[in-house]
Structure 1
Amino acid sequence: MKTLQIKAGKDKAVKQHHPWVFSGALETIKQNPEQGEIIKLVNAKNEFLAYGYFNNLSKIMVRAIEWNEETQVDDQWWKEKIKASVNRRQHLLNSKDTNSFRLIYSEADGLPGLIVDKYADHLVVQVLTVGIEVRKQLIAEYLFELVKPTGIYERSDATARSLEGLKASNGLLIGIEPAEFTEITENGLKFVVNIADGQKSGYFLDQRNTRKRVADYAKELNVLDCFCYAGGFTLNAKKAGAKSVMSVDSSALAIDMVRRNHKANDITFLEDELIKGDSNNTLRRFQEENRNFDLIILDPPKLAPSRSAVDRALRAYKDLNLQALKLLGKGGLLATFSCSGGVELGMLKQAVAWAALDAGKEVQFIEQFGHPEDHPILASFPESEYLKGVMCRVI
């Protein structure tokens, strides 16, 4: 096994089991590992630190995966890591009202660059690092053996792959290709998911628990669901007894899925409740029409793809929440979210506070939201936390 040495004073993070080793932390590489090859990391005194996989095309040149020198990182190691991750979701595998969730969450499950989502009888794999790419078929075959899905489909089209020197890769890995629409169950509701062309890996599984919790507030309320995508918040709110729900998304595919999901659950709707349009513009139009709502949900896409974009994103969050608050009266509720890893919960709350000030509204934060249990946050890798939200009340 080839050895890479970390510069003196640069090994603290690895000792604390943080998996990322940047190129600037490494001494000049005298050996030339292949892309994705397992290497040994040592400190300036040549003492063992960790095993990891190598990629000289990435700023994160090594991703550490094993800190026990006596452990051999072979095919069996990968199988055991995958099995352990799946076993941690056993309660979800046994659930009667939810059959779709995340099975493997990258670094948070000790497998940097591997994301596996379960959609009913299909698995969807996202491969984000070279170390996973070169073992993709092995991983797919073992997942197929362990979970026994109908098929495993790859959706490796995230922009993060380009940072690893990888091109997009979509298509069937093993088994039977999914139909155009796959029906899943979440919180006892049915949803149709477009695995091949939908956003992320087909659906936003990370809001499962929050959709149900926000719905607890919705009974007898007039609700506006912005950035609704497939209607997760919409359908949960209607199931909970909302008086009305308007759903807004700029994607025609999303609006079509909301329509299909109403029908799949035999829930009535009016066509004018489904609005294909920009959420920001729709909020402004409703102000001009003197519309009011009791509960508004804002679940926008990632507005800060990098740390450098955080300030711009906070201005966008502030304006978005400002437009929503203008449509809420006394006692009105605002559930607002950010899925940008660089935007911390305190930053989101500050953006809402600025928005409330400009809207002339006094706002309380009454509840906070985060990851469900199938999207764990690893203590040694805080970067695994990205989703956060708050429920606000106008007083």
Structure 2
Amino acid sequence: MNKIILHKNKEKAAWQLHPWIFSGAIKSVEGTPANGTVVKVFNIDKEFIAYGVYNAHSRVAVRLLEWNQQHPIDDGWWRSRIQRAVELRTPLLTDQNDTVRLIFAEADFLPGLIVDKYGEFLSVQIHSSGIEAVKTIIVEELVQLLQPKGIYERSDLNARQHEGLADANGLLYGEMPSEFVEVIENGIRYQINIVEGQKSGFYCDQRDNRSLTAQYVKDKRVLDCFCYSGGFTLNAAKAGASSIVSVDSSALAIETLHRNIVLNGFNPITHTAVQADVNKYLRQLREEGEKFDVIILDPPKYAPSRSALDKAARAYKDLNRRALLLLESGGVLATFSCSGAMDIDTFKQVIAWAALDAGKEIQFIRQFNQPEDHPIRASFPEGEYLKGLLVRIV
């Protein structure tokens, strides 16, 4: 087997089970491993550290898989990891919830692989050359375990470019998903678009946070920003909000949201959907003197890397300031960041700055996290990306 030898003193993180070896840590490569090939990783003294998958194109040159030398990476290894990941999610699948993240990349020792279950269909994203090399095994095992109606691939992410991989979208198994696939989450029905929707089709990482936020909306006027297909909106409607305004820049999102309002039998008279740029719309609402009791901000990732953090912090601050200006004493803001580069303490500071600029005194009354099907591996803190705050105007 091809071998990777690390520079002196570059093995500490690997010994501590961190799954990434950066290209700058590699002293030499013995053999000529193709991208996606399993290799053995050693320290400078030729002591075995782990098995991993090599990619010369990527800054993360080796993605580590297994630290026990007696457990080589064969077909059975991949299958057992898939089986274990699915097994751990089984308790989450009930008659009130049939959408869940089955495999969460590094957290499940399968770096570069995301699998989401949406009702009878699976949506797969492959980010790494190592997973691309065993795609057939992955599909076979998922079929064996779950007997889905179909498996659709949505591997069209920037991460693939860094791995030297082209985009890959298409059917991997079974039936092609229809334009709208029906799923249920928190007892609420959704029609989602797996083929053309954002990410893999739906944001199941906000499942718990939607339910928690809904506890504050009964008889309240709610503004849901970056609403997408209506996760927070529909939970608020179910919980008895007096009125809801939902905003998103995507025409498909607004169309899907309308379908989901009707699907669940919620009163469309108390709901308004607006296709608009959120920041511009918040400014418009301020100019019109509008006020809300509860505002939800669930924006896209503003900080894709630590180098973008300062710019992202300013964007988060401006966005939250505009929302806070639409709340009066007792009002509540549920605000989120899905930027892994921004930790919760930094996020709190940004919201504090936003409140100061808005002339508002605030309290943090709850913190939000990603749910248990998006676990955070102790040796891979980078897997923690979703955080949120429930903010009350004093």
Q: Give the TM bin, normalised by the shorter chain.
A: over 0.9
Over residues 151-173 of structure 1, what are the superposed CA-to-partner deviations in whole Å (9 max), with x where a residue is unaligned? 11000011111111111100000
Query: TM-score with structure 2 length normalisation?
Result: 0.99
**Equivalent-residue separation in structure 2 for 1:231 and 1:270 (angstroms):** 16
Over residues 340-359 of structure 1, what are the superposed CA-to-partner deviations in whole Å (9 max), with x where a residue is unaligned? 11011111111110011011
SS at match of 2:285: helix
SS at match of 1:357: helix
Over residues 162-216 of structure 1, what are the superposed CA-to-partner deviations in whole Å (9 max), with x where a residue is unaligned? 1111111000001111001000000000001100000010011100010000001
Structure 1, unaligned stretches of length 5 or more? Answer: none
Count of aligned pairs: 394
Within a 5 Å distance, the mapping from 1:79-94 to structure 2 comes to 79-93=79-93
Per the TM alignment, residue 279 of structure 1 is displaced from its structure 2 partner at its CA by 0.7
**Equivalent-residue separation in structure 2 for 1:82 and 1:34 (angstroms):** 24
* 1:377 maps onto 2:372 in alignment: no
Aligned to 1:185: 184
**Equivalent-residue separation in structure 1 for 2:304 and 2:60 (angstroms):** 17
**Equivalent-residue separation in structure 2 for 1:379 and 1:150 (angstroms):** 35
Paired residue type of 1:299: D
The answer on whether the counterparts of 2:220 and 2:241 sit within 8 Å (CA) in structure 1 is yes
**Equivalent-residue separation in structure 2 for 1:219 and 1:76 (angstroms):** 51
Paired residue type of 1:36: G
**Equivalent-residue separation in structure 2 for 1:5 and 1:271 (angstroms):** 64
**Equivalent-residue separation in structure 2 for 1:390 and 1:162 (angstroms):** 34
Greater shift, 187-196 or 21-30, is seen at 21-30
Tell me the C-alpha RMSD between the 2 structures.
0.9
Aligned to 1:202: 201
Aligned to 2:137: 138
**Equivalent-residue separation in structure 2 for 1:145 and 1:323 (angstroms):** 50
Within a 5 Å distance, the mapping from 1:172-321 to structure 2 comes to 172-270=171-269, 273-321=272-320
**Equivalent-residue separation in structure 1 for 2:273 and 2:2 (angstroms):** 58
**Equivalent-residue separation in structure 1 for 2:42 and 2:29 (angstroms):** 12
Per the TM alignment, residue 138 of structure 1 is displaced from its structure 2 partner at its CA by 1.3
Per the TM alignment, residue 30 of structure 1 is displaced from its structure 2 partner at its CA by 3.5
Within a 5 Å distance, the mapping from 1:20-99 to structure 2 comes to 20-93=20-93, 95-99=94-98
Aligned to 1:4: 4
Per the TM alignment, residue 72 of structure 1 is displaced from its structure 2 partner at its CA by 1.9
Paired residue type of 1:35: N
Query: TM-score with structure 1 length normalisation?
Result: 0.99
**Equivalent-residue separation in structure 2 for 1:27 and 1:361 (angstroms):** 54
**Equivalent-residue separation in structure 2 for 1:151 and 1:271 (angstroms):** 37
SS at match of 1:88: helix
Runs in 1 of length 4+ with deviation above 3 angstroms? none
SS at match of 1:185: strand
Aligned to 1:118: 117
The answer on whether the counterparts of 2:244 and 2:270 sit within 8 Å (CA) in structure 1 is no
Over residues 16-73 of structure 1, what are the superposed CA-to-partner deviations in whole Å (9 max), with x where a residue is unaligned? 0000001111112241111111111111111110000111111111000000011121
Structure 2, unaligned stretches of length 5 or more? Answer: none
**Equivalent-residue separation in structure 1 for 2:101 and 2:148 (angstroms):** 14
**Equivalent-residue separation in structure 2 for 1:70 and 1:296 (angstroms):** 53
